[in-house]
Amino acid sequence: MKTFSSVTVKKHKYLVKIRFVRSYNHLRGVLRRFKFNYNHKLAKLDIHALPYPTDWQKLRRYKRLVVEIGSGHGELIADLSQKRPDDLFIGFEIISKFMRMGMRRLSSVDNARIFKAEAYGIIPLIFADETIDETYILFPDPWHKRRHHKRRPLTTEWFSILHKKTTSGGSFLFVTDWEDYYDFVSAQLETCDAGWDIKTGEYKPESFGLPQTHYYKKWLKLGRNFRYILGRKRQSNIS
């Protein structure tokens, strides 16, 4: 018997599969039949078994919801989740080896999970509007060859989507060692009519209370420069 009905659609330049469930009670029943406790450790959750959008507060009570795009070796999400046990951290990594590496780093915490998924396609589906407090995009693939520029996902359209998903006063942090990609993202934000307050500058992890990740150390040894773009969603004036 099929548990979920699904349909594959093209959304935001990616093919994604949307699954439908009748209710959270239905979902709990399904998971119990597979001897799975809905309130079990985040490490056991399967992204394909969750309804879209997911009510993360029903999974785990938290103060702030933090998302990392491209978790790499998992240093960032592991460091922050240990320092901030009351917050919830959700990372996405498309490379299986890196996803497993990151999850091993999270073995001592239960407020963080890295999913193997294409973040730019899944974030518009799995998060409800105005629920993400922080988004980290550190050293994404710059698609540096000119013929590959069309593959760059950090577009005006995507930043508008992220704006809808971000809470009032929430933020994103983009970091790159590739000057051309920095210029590209800056240009995309200039044409984005969503309400972001932008701050830019030279990136140093300690300035943001962040660890030195694998790729930061790798590019630092090669003498590269690092630039950041910090976007903060303008707070609503409604009192």
Task: State the total domains in the chain.
Answer: 1
Is residue 87 annotated as a catalytic residue, yes or no?
A: no
In a domain, 238, yes or no: no
Predicted structure pTM score:
0.82
The domain containing residue 211 runs over which residues?
A: 5-233
Residue 78's region, left for phi above 0, alpha for psi from -120 to 50, else beta, is alpha
**Dihedrals phi, psi of 62, to nearest 5 degrees:** -155, 165
In a domain, 239, yes or no: no
Mean pLDDT by groups of 10 residues along the chain of 239 residues? 39 43 53 46 78 86 96 96 96 94 92 93 93 97 85 93 96 96 95 92 97 93 95 76
Question: What CA–CA distance (Å, rounded) separates 171 from 196?
Answer: 9
In a domain, 227, yes or no: yes
pLDDT tens figures, 203-239: 999 999 999 999 999 999 999 999 999 999 988 765 4
Q: Are 31 and 51 a contacting pair, CB within 8 Å? A: no
The catalytic position among 55, 133, 141, 193 is 141
Q: What is the CATH classification number for the domain harbouring 169? A: 3.40.50.150
Token digits of residue 96: 């299986």
Classify each residue of 43-59 as buried b or exposed e, where b means 16 or more C-beta atoms within 10 Å of its C-beta: eebeeebbbbebebeeb
Alpha-helical runs (H) found in 60-199: 75-83, 96-105, 119-126, 156-165, 179-190
